[in-house]
Amino acid sequence: MASSDCLFCRIASGGIPADVVYQDQHVVAFRDISPQAPVHFLVIPRRHVASLNVAQDSDRDLLGRMFLAARDTARAEGVADGGYRTVLNVGADAGQVVQHVHMHVLGGREMGWPPG
């Protein structure tokens, strides 16, 4: 897929506006347009990786950076102490809609378990 055809590539490059809460050379975090919790943002790599299923061993550093960006942004958003949930939907059964790997970070309320 060309990055011009990918919604999250376009957000990462600034071509489509988003409420960005963190960014660096490798990853971008922005608020979900349809928040499912008081705090709900997505962490994505700038580089197009369609899903965790197709991530390579060489993406190890990038995937680690996504987690560390989630950690820092959760703290900045004030949910680190209360707790928060990180979610990667992978594939159809999990309900992955956008084919660019993204980590949901949800916080600010108690979460149920198991997830739906």
By CB under 5 A, name the one of 43, 96, 100, 106 that touches Zn ion: 100
User: Is residue 97 at the binding interface for ligand 5GP, with CB under 6 A as the rule?
Assistant: yes
Query: What does the DSSP 8-state code read for residue 4?
Result: G
H or E element in which residue 39 lies: strand 39-45
User: Is residue 73 at the binding interface for ligand 5GP, with CB under 6 A as the rule?
Assistant: no
Please say if 40 is a catalytic residue.
no
Minimum CB distance to ligand 5GP smaller for 33 or for 58: 33
To Zn ion, the closest distance from the beta carbon of 10 in angstroms equals: 8
Of all residues in the shown chain, the one whose CB is closest to Zn ion is 6
Distance from C-alpha of 94 to C-alpha of 97, rounded to nearest angstrom: 9
Q: What residues contact 10, with CB distance under 8 A and at least 6 apart?
A: 3, 4, 16
Query: By three-state DSSP, how is residue 48 classified?
Result: coil
The site for ligand 5GP (CB under 6 A) is made up of 7, 18, 30-34, 89, 95-98
